[in-house]
Structure 1
Amino acid sequence: MHRPLQTLLAAALAAAPAVRAAAADDSQQQQHLEPVLVTGARSSAPSPDLPHSSAGKSAVQLREQNLVNPEDALKYLPSTTLRKRYSGDRNALIGGRSFGTLQPSRALVYVDGFLISNFLGRFDAPRWNMLTPESVERVDVLYGPFSALYPGNSIGTTVAVTERRPRAFEAAVRLSRFRQHFDAYGHADHYDGHQQSAHLGDRLGSGLWYTVDLNRQDATSQPMQYQAVTADAAGRFPEPRSGPATPVTGVRYDTDPRGLRRALLGAGAGAIDHTVQQTVKLRLGQTLDRALAGDLLLAHWTQRSQTRNLSFLRDGSGQAVWRGLVSDGAQRFELPATALAPSRRDERHLQAGLRLKTQHDTGWNTTLVLSGYRIIEDRQRQATQPDPQAGAGGAGSVTRRDGTGWNTAELVTTYTPAADDLAGGRHALTFGLHRNAYRLHSTVDRTADWRGGPGQPDQYYRGRTRVVALYGQDVWRLRPDLKLTWGVRWERFEAGDGQQKFPGSEPEPRYPSRRLHGSSPKASLAWWATPDLLLKASAGRGVRFPNVEELYNGSIAANGRKTSSDPRLAPERADALELSAEYGWQRHLLRASLFQDDVQDAILRQNDVSAQIDWVSNVDRVRTRGIELTWQAQDWPARGLSLDANVALARSKVAANARDPRSVGKYWPRVPRLRASVVAAWRANERWTTSLALRHSGRAYNTSDNSDIQPDVYGGVSRLTQLDLRGSVKLQPQLELALGIDNLTDQRAWQSHPYPGRTLLAELRWTR
């Protein structure tokens, strides 16, 4: 382990002058996030400096729930959808109050101020892999574009993860295993996984502190997608080519999300994913003198993935049929060779970050944050023959994204007034300069041996984006019980080097470079009506610019599905309003929030199932209105019992869409009308802890015209109501055993892909 760490550290030190990173610095996070956690009484009420409604969980609270991967920290938070398809999923996408998991670029995720949001592609989720479960100290979620400190992607949700910083020597080791039972379309099986995590940290007498975090995960998914043939409105299936057909059994018939008859022939397109992932992360910090401190981040993640498929079809001798013309006596189908073809993917990612800051108690301070994320290697090898034949090699393709990544930089100066001025007129000021740059280069090579042979470029798309922003924010104490937080953010967006090449053709001419501008005013007024009651009114605009893939991804997949993007996309412009009231009494905290998001030129990728086409376009106007209620209680109704409950009702609809009038008045995709969760944890004594958690997500749609009328099938977006249990006991003061169950009732739920079935978890944790 020493050699990789030395290599990574040397790379970070060499790259630091050139690597830039975006994010709010940790001093800002402490100023705006520190008071969010409910610890039992009115002292837990949020700070009036925070212009957003927020929710958060500490490490202690997170250990009261089943936490296999770091993103699990979000699954019970208000108005939040986490599309985690299985343990080890690399694309656990976030949905929020007014956006679904088809719009990942509306979610910002920071880890100690360093950005891990991946705004490169459609299904590029935050890089959760740069976190380990043992390193998370707390997580906080901010709702809406009400702070000038954050980029335009904050029009949805901003997640701030805080990692542990040691005060003395500390160590932890965590071993876990999990097993999922999954049963769908006549196929039932168990899918297992295990994980090992380690955390080591210390703060030396010199002021130097360090942490080392290691994580290894080996996991296998349930089937993610199926090879299906859909009939027309009259119930007629497509007529395959002529010729003799193999008699088979095992075709599964159902009704697809649009209400059309459908035949499923197997779990295909690399349905079952076996992935091995490893994370190594080093953090160093040093107080250089009484007024200057710095810290360094270096993280390395690798992943090896192998997929396989299942054929439902059996011939007369009981052997699986993987390709060709087949007939079950009633219908004839053609099963393409590529439908049940396996794939393999190898990835290596590196993240580096550097922060320098002054730390005067009052007056002016300056923070410089630099970091970058680079995909050193990303190669997905796809066979063109089904599983049995592909094992011996044969033709295929290799998709490469080597060298892709992003870098950002943030220079912030803040002014903190003296604490002894309790009269009105105090100002806490923040001014900042921000830059981020994203680059994506995706190439598909054709190769004679998909397992490892050389290839010839067949298609590609590429491009870059850059945002430069200036911002200022003032927290103005008008009087001791009244504060105004107001600010503005000005952003300039550039896109260029956009180019596409399609199979069998010459490269398309490069698209012209584009420059766009956006300004985002913000204001929030907070009034302590009584010592226990905080009233807040917030308004803000956010401008979210399109990402590289939304602009330039024109490609054709191995199964023939086409993707079409739009280099002329307009940015999303969101005008948001929120009225909230928070009341704390004794051991309770209650919050009610009314919110409205009005988004112009919303960016949405849609699909035409029959034509096998995905395309991206602007939707003229989408309006979301809703109410959110949260309640937290400590030692109530019994000592040692804590409750954390929330419910959100939202009505998100398309108000105008000249490109597709059918969608006007319809619900916005993947935004449930109702979301709710409750977590009840009981600490019987210092040894025993038990918890029960219930999460519910109501009806939602997968298409902008709401034509998916059948939600509870593959491809649909179904209701979800799942019950999770956990119990832990300290076998010794430093040794803890935990057992848990996710989805106790084994509910089958879908968000296009299936959610996991009943999952059993066991965890052994040692700490010092």
Structure 2
Amino acid sequence: MAAAISLALATGGHAYADEPAADATLQTVTINTSRSPLDPNLPTTSASKTQEELRQQQNIFNPEDALRNMPSMTIRKRYSGDRNALVGGRSFSTTQAPRALVSMDGYLLSNFLGRFDAPRWNMIAPEEIARVDVLYGPFSALYAGNSIGTTIAITTSRPTAFSGALRVATQDQSYDQYGLKGHYRNYQGSALIGDKLASGLWYKLMLNHQDATSQPMNYAIATADAAGGFAAPGGGVATPVSGVVYDTGPFGIRRAILGANGGSIDHTRQHTAKASFGYDFSPTLGAEGFVAWWRNDTVTRNQTFLRDAAGKAVWSGRVSDGANVFVLPAAAFAPYTREEQHAQAGLTVKSRHRSGWNGSVSASAYRILGDVQRNAGSADPLAANGGPGSAVLRDGSGFNSIDAQATYTPGAGDWTGGAHALVLGVHADNNKLKQTTRGTADWRNANGAESQFVGGETRTFALYAQDAWRFAPQWHATFGLRAESWQASDGVQRALPASPRNYPRRSERAWSPKLSLNWEVDGDTTLRLSAGRGTRFATVSELFQGTAAGSSIVINDPDLKPERSTALELMAERRYELGSLRASLFQDDVRNTIWSQLNLNVFPNVSNVQNVGRVRTRGLELVGRLDRLGVHGLSAEANIAFSKSTILENQNYLPSVGKDWTRVPRVRSSSTLTYAPADSWSASATYRYSGAQFNEITNSDHNTEVYGAVSRVSQLDVRLLLKPARNTEVALGVDNLNNNRAFQMHPYPGRTLFAEVRYAF
């Protein structure tokens, strides 16, 4: 940690990259420039990585890996093949998915159908990532209210001639937890081919296949009482067993670990196919679009730690290790399977004048064609023969969006006379959720009577305007305003034996002003002060999804207020001949944070999705790079962020007031050292750190370095990139070389070997 802080303070750690790294031997499918496709007058701090930087510095197996070293960012990727790789940012946790706005070539990848649904990373193959840009805070009127956290814009490659690439990657993870040791292996292959024809037509075809197996994700736990004893229900003879493992949980209470359960080891096979295309009607008018399909087949398994006197595995029943008695329910080690098919399509038409007015219209649709999870009602050995269970289906859920935008860019000689760069736009989207739960006589199929249904729809319509005004030679101000109208409708919840609940239509409106003042002190120094309001509306599941189980009441809240963020940032950047340094002071003050918590103001107490009155985050972020360190080919970049996120108001749960917000570390850093003395090879090492965090808003989970907690991350990754022949790359690496054992409730991967071969033409 000390080394990371020292490097960050000495060099900063900036991820800006305006030009691609030189590569004289490898041809790739690339876009015709590495410059950001974003609006050049965005009033927000950003960080970027190009394809060349990513390939040189990181072992990338899944698309979200490209983000793991960005400033003030957490990617909760639990294992390769994880469909729930969530984003955390400066002021929000990885369990607040709707505060991350993720797009691919301008098309929405963020999935706002569920509270914890991750962006649909699967619509991208790592091989086709050309550039990643990360924007911080709600300072631009061009982006929806979900940008109150972090906006991630991924640009994929576009061919400029006939070209393509083949890539094969593999991982081998060594993992040891609670005495359960194993190697978990992953494989991925991708193919990319494209061309740009003389007619103005271009196309790109992508295929990606992945076969991955996770380390154990969940464990069956029995928790002791305050005195450290384990009390089991009376009655019956207990089977003598061995294999129980004891430790201390996040709350400092003794517990027994009985095995890896809950579909703990996840084996997935994923396939992605995508066709991208475009056509230039003229030098100034073109159209482009894509169609993509993704399939996932998941089979899970569990592992009991318990063995009887004959050494036979024990999966359920009343057991004793001679010191304590435990009762394992029949479904404690039940597996599940899941089959998913998703599709997305998008189309954009736009003009490309160098100055003056331009226009664009863009539309996209995302559909869950099929999604069924089959849950067994009995443990692994018996489950293979069938038996009762349940199934959850989300077929037909999806989201759509459409945007129309007009921009005005002054000519090259117009910027000196108080010129204005304008953006005017209109946006509309809708999100529709349909989720059915069925009881099944044979869990291996999804046929059965409906036991619960939740559904609903949200719609947003927005108008926005932005004006970048250069009112003096070294000064410009950016004014923005976003007006949004939101509506929720068709909310319904049916759960037997209760009567159906149908929720009335409701609507909200929000005005989100933005202001930024930028001063180019000289050719190498920039100061910027930004202020912005952002409004994030509730998702379908936050409004309408809920259930009641026994004495535990877990319900939704159809009357949730939108989250309203008021953010400030003071940024200073200095550019040197050998690199750059940026410092950002930021504050994010959020009213009505949407969160699931216990409500102490009602009886019986209810755990549900509620509004937390006020959460404020303040912090300092340092980002910098050195392109030369005195040795030919040696460069460094680093970032470090210090922040404090505090609950200031929470009327329904007063014990949380004054406590730290969940899963926002006080220190987060990343430092990369790269040695590239020749075009034929390079070596990189990256050290990542984040401090321990709380998962409970009362901060009662103080024992953080254990399963079930949110621990420190202290990880070293290394990569060696070789170019042994023209058009060929071979990469060898190790992620988590120091085998740091870290948790974000679930365990993060252990030491993982990485190998990759790539051929481009």
TM-score by structure 2 length? 0.93
Deviation, structure 1 residue 551: 0.9
Contact 1:535 1:582 in 2 (8 A): yes
Cα 1:612/1:689, change in 2 over 3 Å:
farther
Deviation, structure 1 residue 421: 1.6
Runs of 4+, deviation exceeding 6 Å: 43-48, 559-562
Per-residue Cα deviation, 1:41-79 (whole angstroms, up to 9, x for no partner): xx9999972311111100001002111111000000000
Per-residue Cα deviation, 1:257-305 (whole angstroms, up to 9, x for no partner): 1111111111111000000000001100001123321011111000000
Correspondences of 1:149-168 after superposition (within 5 Å): 149-168=142-161
Could you tell me which residue of structure 1 aligns to residue 27 of structure 2? none
> Which segment drifts farther, 93-102 or 725-734?
725-734
Cα 1:637/1:603, change in 2 over 3 Å:
farther
Quote the Cα distance in structure 2 between the aligned partners of 1:341 and 1:612: 30
Cα 1:36/1:640, change in 2 over 3 Å:
closer
Quote the Cα distance in structure 2 between the aligned partners of 1:438 and 1:223: 33
Contact 2:520 2:527 in 1 (8 A): yes
Quote the Cα distance in structure 2 between the aligned partners of 1:233 and 1:287: 71
Could you tell me which residue of structure 2 aligns to residue 78 of structure 1? 71
Could you tell me which residue of structure 2 aligns to residue 570 of structure 1? 561
> Which segment drifts farther, 158-167 or 48-57?
48-57
Pick the aligned partner of 1:200 from 193, 207, 219: 193
Cα 1:563/1:534, change in 2 over 3 Å:
same
Contact 1:38 1:632 in 2 (8 A): no
Could you tell me which residue of structure 2 aligns to residue 31 of structure 1? none
Cα 1:753/1:94, change in 2 over 3 Å:
same
Verify: 1:720 aligned to 2:721, yes or no: no
Quote the Cα distance in structure 1 between the aligned partners of 2:274 and 2:554: 36
Pick the aligned partner of 1:254 from 229, 242, 247: 247
> Which segment drifts farther, 290-299 or 650-659?
290-299
Quote the Cα distance in structure 1 between the aligned partners of 2:156 and 2:260: 39
Contact 1:48 1:483 in 2 (8 A): no
Q: Does the residue aligned with 1:105 lie in a helix, a strand or coil?
A: helix
Could you tell me which residue of structure 1 aligns to residue 464 of structure 2? 471
Quote the Cα distance in structure 1 between the aligned partners of 2:691 and 2:19: 27
Verify: 1:737 aligned to 2:736, yes or no: no
Correspondences of 1:345-360 after superposition (within 5 Å): 345-360=338-353
Could you tell me which residue of structure 2 aligns to residue 747 of structure 1? 740
TM-score by structure 1 length? 0.92
Deviation, structure 1 residue 508: 2.2
Quote the Cα distance in structure 1 between the aligned partners of 2:447 and 2:513: 53
Deviation, structure 1 residue 199: 1.0
Deviation, structure 1 residue 565: 2.0
Q: How many residues align?
A: 731
Contact 2:219 2:264 in 1 (8 A): yes
Could you tell me which residue of structure 2 aligns to residue 693 of structure 1? 686
Could you tell me which residue of structure 1 aligns to residue 313 of structure 2? 320
Correspondences of 1:430-509 after superposition (within 5 Å): 430-452=423-445, 454-502=447-495, 504-509=496-501
Quote the Cα distance in structure 2 between the aligned partners of 1:315 and 1:35: 59
Cα 1:484/1:284, change in 2 over 3 Å:
same
Correspondences of 1:162-241 after superposition (within 5 Å): 162-241=155-234
> Which segment drifts farther, 344-353 or 359-368?
359-368
Verify: 1:91 aligned to 2:84, yes or no: yes
Per-residue Cα deviation, 1:177-227 (whole angstroms, up to 9, x for no partner): 101011111211111110001111111101111111111000000011111
Deviation, structure 1 residue 639: 2.1
Q: Which amino acid aligns with 1:550?
A: E
Deviation, structure 1 residue 657: 0.8
Unaligned runs of 5+ in 1: 1-33
Deviation, structure 1 residue 233: 2.1
Q: Which amino acid aligns with 1:99?
A: F
> Which segment drifts farther, 636-645 or 518-527?
636-645
Q: Provide the aligned C-alpha RMSD in A.
A: 2.1
Deviation, structure 1 residue 683: 1.0
Quote the Cα distance in structure 1 between the aligned partners of 2:384 and 2:731: 40
Q: Which amino acid aligns with 1:539?
A: A
Deviation, structure 1 residue 642: 2.2
Q: Does the residue aligned with 1:662 lie in a helix, a strand or coil?
A: helix
Deviation, structure 1 residue 561: 7.9
Q: Which amino acid aligns with 1:537?
A: L
Quote the Cα distance in structure 2 between the aligned partners of 1:459 and 1:515: 26
Q: Which amino acid aligns with 1:96?
A: G
Cα 1:35/1:472, change in 2 over 3 Å:
farther
Quote the Cα distance in structure 1 between the aligned partners of 2:39 and 2:545: 43
Q: Does the residue aligned with 1:63 lie in a helix, a strand or coil?
A: helix
Could you tell me which residue of structure 1 aligns to residue 662 of structure 2? 669
Contact 1:36 1:54 in 2 (8 A): no
> Which segment drifts farther, 227-236 or 599-608?
599-608
Q: Does the residue aligned with 1:257 lie in a helix, a strand or coil?
A: coil
Pick the aligned partner of 1:329 from 322, 333, 354: 322
Per-residue Cα deviation, 1:143-182 (whole angstroms, up to 9, x for no partner): 0000000000000000000111111111101101101011
Cα 1:372/1:47, change in 2 over 3 Å:
closer
Deviation, structure 1 residue 564: 2.5
Contact 1:477 1:483 in 2 (8 A): yes
Quote the Cα distance in structure 2 between the aligned partners of 1:47 and 1:488: 16
Q: Does the residue aligned with 1:357 lie in a helix, a strand or coil?
A: strand
Quote the Cα distance in structure 2 between the aligned partners of 1:36 and 1:189: 40
Pick the aligned partner of 1:62 from 39, 48, 54: 54
Could you tell me which residue of structure 1 aligns to residue 256 of structure 2? 263
Verify: 1:107 aligned to 2:97, yes or no: no
Q: Which amino acid aligns with 1:74?
A: L
Q: Does the residue aligned with 2:65 lie in a helix, a strand or coil?
A: helix
Q: Does the residue aligned with 1:451 lie in a helix, a strand or coil?
A: coil
Verify: 1:121 aligned to 2:114, yes or no: yes
Q: Which amino acid aligns with 2:442?
A: D
Deviation, structure 1 residue 613: 8.3
Verify: 1:49 aligned to 2:41, yes or no: yes
Contact 2:17 2:50 in 1 (8 A): no
Quote the Cα distance in structure 2 between the aligned partners of 1:700 and 1:336: 32
Q: Does the residue aligned with 1:510 lie in a helix, a strand or coil?
A: strand
Unaligned runs of 5+ in 2: 1-14, 22-33
Cα 1:637/1:564, change in 2 over 3 Å:
farther
Could you tell me which residue of structure 2 aligns to residue 653 of structure 1? 646
Quote the Cα distance in structure 1 between the aligned partners of 2:553 and 2:217: 20
Quote the Cα distance in structure 2 between the aligned partners of 1:560 and 1:153: 35
Q: Does the residue aligned with 2:480 lie in a helix, a strand or coil?
A: strand
Could you tell me which residue of structure 2 aligns to residue 144 of structure 1? 137
Q: Does the residue aligned with 2:442 lie in a helix, a strand or coil?
A: coil
Per-residue Cα deviation, 1:442-467 (whole angstroms, up to 9, x for no partner): 11111111112521111121111111
Deviation, structure 1 residue 728: 1.6
Per-residue Cα deviation, 1:542-582 (whole angstroms, up to 9, x for no partner): 0000101111111368x998743211111100000000001
Could you tell me which residue of structure 2 aligns to residue 26 of structure 1? none
Cα 1:612/1:93, change in 2 over 3 Å:
farther
Q: Does the residue aligned with 1:243 lie in a helix, a strand or coil?
A: coil
Verify: 1:596 aligned to 2:617, yes or no: no
> Which segment drifts farther, 636-645 or 407-416?
636-645
Pick the aligned partner of 1:402 from 378, 381, 395: 395
Cα 1:560/1:637, change in 2 over 3 Å:
farther
Q: Does the residue aligned with 2:503 lie in a helix, a strand or coil?
A: coil
Q: Which amino acid aligns with 2:538?
A: P
Per-residue Cα deviation, 1:459-494 (whole angstroms, up to 9, x for no partner): 121111111111100011112211111110011111
Pick the aligned partner of 1:640 from 619, 629, 633: 633
Contact 1:499 1:507 in 2 (8 A): no
Pick the aligned partner of 1:704 from 694, 697, 705: 697
Cα 1:363/1:125, change in 2 over 3 Å:
same
Q: Which amino acid aligns with 1:366?
A: G
Could you tell me which residue of structure 1 aligns to residue 30 of structure 2? none
Contact 1:35 1:47 in 2 (8 A): no
Pick the aligned partner of 1:388 from 381, 386, 391: 381
Deviation, structure 1 residue 314: 0.6
Quote the Cα distance in structure 2 between the aligned partners of 1:287 and 1:221: 45
Identical residues among aligned pairs (%): 51
Deviation, structure 1 residue 239: 2.7
Quote the Cα distance in structure 1 between the aligned partners of 2:520 and 2:341: 50
Contact 1:38 1:589 in 2 (8 A): no
Could you tell me which residue of structure 2 aligns to residue 583 of structure 1? 574
Could you tell me which residue of structure 1 aligns to residue 538 of structure 2? 546
